[in-house]
A and B are shown apart, each in its own frame.
Chain A
Amino acid sequence: MGRYVIRRLLQMIPVFLGATLLIFLMVNVMGDPIAGLCGERRCDPATAAQLRKEFGLDMPVWQQYLTYMGNVFTGDFGTAFNGQQVTELMGEAFPVTIRLTLVAIVFEIVIGIVLGVVTGLRRGRPVDSGVLLLTLVVISVPTFVTGLLLQLLLGYKWDVIDPSVSTDARLDELIVPGLVLASVSLAYVTRLTRTSIAENTRADYVRTAKAKGLPRSRVIRRHLLRNSLIPVVTFIGTDIGALMGGAIVTERIFNIHGVGYQLYQGILRQNTQTVVGFVSVLVIVFLVANLLVDLLYAVLDPRIRYA
């Protein structure tokens, strides 16, 4: 087990290098960012040249990448176009996003799994159809609309929350944004749990456990749920990326200055340093998340072993 974890941690190095190189090249392919800095007029050539020099854009791409990576290893992630340090931007954005992601994941786990178990045990009943309808609404109505309506209703009509999240982004302010962010994933988690539960209710070990006279709640928790969770855990592991890096819509609606928003801005302004910096950290998050998911397999299903 220990050796397995160490091996997985070592694998992070090539992935990290590969991901940074890929993203670096992709932002570069987008073209020259300088033209976007001068508003609706042509940058005068001297200023443009000076700016290119300042951001290191006058060097060949490979040299830019090496310089950048060299700086990264000394902890310098470069500067954004507005003169702010990327590390500073990350220091502001990541704590907020991590809190928001945690709230969303808690919603996915609690609501998603509860709804999944209930619908899995009562397939075809009204509650099952009700949840299916809810799923359809969540998939076909854009997050933008759900978020906007919740914000209007709760923040304006009934005045129970502040429509926008403050700079501190406390956990309690992130509950509604977290729910909105989690909504589509909730649909996945609910239906994955439902299917697994439905499949496993007829498994022999569940029949046996029931036959032995174990209490129903214990059968569900210890036997049924535990064996049904692997697809759900896998899904949540893959979803962390979408939640952390792709929460642009939710972050914009609720005024959260998080990773998704900064990354989006960085991409639109073609700021290599911001984009590569943020994505590098995100890639590390995925690697750790996937490692945890793999380790959880062994916990949920003791037959799975890692050597």
Chain B
Amino acid sequence: MPEPRQNPHFDDPAHSAVAATGAGGATDLAMSEGETLERDPSVVFGGRVPDGREGTGPSAKPRSLWSDAWCDLRRNPVFIVSALVILFLILISLWPSLIASGNPHSCDLAKAQQGSQPGHPFGFNGQGCDVYTRTVYGARASVTVGVCATLGVALLGSVLGGLAGFFGGAWDAALSRLTDIFFGIPVVLGGLVLLSVITSSTVWPVVGFMVLLGWPQISRIARGSVITAKQNDYVQAARALGASSSRMLLRHIAPNAVAPVIVVATIALGTYISLEATLSFLGVGLKPPTVSWGIDISSASPYVRNAPHMLLWPAGALAITVLAFIMLGDAVRDALDPKLR
């Protein structure tokens, strides 16, 4: 391993004249991060493990990176709005009857595809069920699948990918080749084989399946970011100062490598909700009579020429959910970036 001081790396070798400044700045950063770190329980990502107070730096500043982040977040309107939206989604997932009095299973074919009318603001779907009621009741299954699958994928993927990227060598080779095999499994085949044997009518087999097939992507993203982040001067500096692997990984690399994982995970959340519909279509996803946005979106899709309202509302609900999580992810990422202070 090259010694950082003697070999001041800079991102662009053509401009090594300014290297000293760059390396110096990065070292400052590393020092300030070496302060007492506290894990804020309200912020959860993949790749981080609770960590005690074992700061080595000067204890002049009372607050850690994570508690700084929390202070930032509380004052960030974007965070507050997205958190409120997510709370609302959780609320209607738990008690859909709070805002919808109808029964999502009562359908009258005579009203199929009809538009908005009094008492039924969103109109009716192809089976004559009330679109509003179904959109509200669909939140439970869709939000559960989306959030749980995303959390699972992000945790598993970033832990495995992060380790592969950090340690390299045989670890990396084994894990990366395993991801290659997983990439090779077609979703349709995987679904038909793995889910058709399960008779449970809960959302968990579907969540488990998505985690199983979804982790390789996040894992590769995390691996790529960790490979980049571990080249940073402050990491090299920490290593030169004798920091342990786990310390470097958790304190220095993870906060700097987590951004791409957050971005991919927040978008994947939306695609998992849609993927659930594909699985249901194959007869291996959520079993009827479960109501979900994915199922309603996919059954409305062929009729988009005639009755776009059937698609619009569940798709709109999905869009708002994804938006809330993207904004949340953005706010968290900003709060974690000390350069923005």
Contacts and interface: CB of A to CB of B under 8 A. Distances in A.
Contact present between A and B (CB < 8 A): yes
Given A208-B22, A267-B188, A283 B221 contact: no
A266 B270 CA distance: 28
A212 interface: yes
Nearest to B184: A283
| Residues of A contacting B: mostly | helix
B298 A142 contact: yes
Contacts of B259: 195-196, 199, 231
A232 B181 CA distance: 22
Interface stretch (A11-19, A62-70, A71-79, A170-178): A11-19
Contacts of B298: 142, 144
A208 B25 CA distance: 11
B107 interface: no
B148 interface: no
B189 A223 contact: no
| Residues of B contacting A: mostly | helix
**Which of A145, A148, A149 has the most B CB atoms < 10 Å from its CB?**
A145
Contact of B304 (A19, A27, A149, A226): A149
Interface string B85-114: 000000000000000000000000000000
Nearest to A29: B193
B32 to A, nearest CB: 14
A72 B147 CA distance: 42
B319 interface: yes
B263 interface: yes
A230 B224 contact: yes
A301 interface: yes
A164 interface: no
Contacts of A268: 188
A205 B12 CA distance: 8
B301 interface: yes
Given A15-B180, A139-B319, A199-B259, A237 B220 contact: yes
Interface in A127-181: 132, 135-137, 139-142, 144-145, 148-149, 152
**Which of A7, A140, A208, A303 has the most B CB atoms < 10 Å from its CB?**
A140
A227 interface: yes
A140 B181 contact: no
Contacts of B224: 230-231, 233-234, 293, 297
Interface in B278-336: 297-298, 301-302, 304-305, 311, 315-316, 318-319, 322-323, 326, 330, 333
A102 interface: no
Contacts of A199: 259, 337, 339
A208 B302 CA distance: 55
Contacts of A136: 319, 322-323, 326
A286 interface: yes
A26 B189 contact: yes
A139 B181 contact: no
A205 B22 contact: yes
B163 to A, nearest CB: 16
B309 to A, nearest CB: 13
Interface stretch (A47-55, A91-99, A107-115, A184-192): A184-192
B173 A11 contact: yes
A90 to B, nearest CB: 15
B271 A184 contact: yes
Contacts, number: 196
Contacts of B302: 144
A29 B196 CA distance: 10
Contacts of A30: 192-193, 196
B301 A142 contact: yes
A290 B18 CA distance: 34
Interface string B32-70: 000000000000000000000000000000000000000
A287 interface: yes
B180 A304 contact: no
Given A139-B322, A304-B228, A191 B263 contact: yes
Interface of A: 7, 11, 14-15, 18-19, 22-23, 26-27, 29-30, 132, 135-137, 139-142, 144-145, 148-149, 152, 184, 187-188, 191-192, 195-196, 199, 202-205, 208-209, 212, 222-223, 226-227, 230-231, 233-235, 237-238, 241, 245-246, 248, 263-264, 267-268, 275, 279, 282-283, 286-287, 290, 293, 297, 301-304
28 contacts: A26-B193, A30-B193, A135-B326, A136-B323, A136-B326, A140-B319, A142-B274, A142-B298, A195-B262, A196-B259, A199-B259, A202-B337, A204-B21, A204-B26, A205-B18, A208-B22, A223-B11, A227-B11, A230-B225, A230-B227, A230-B228, A234-B225, A238-B217, A241-B183, A263-B186, A268-B188, A275-B186, A282-B184
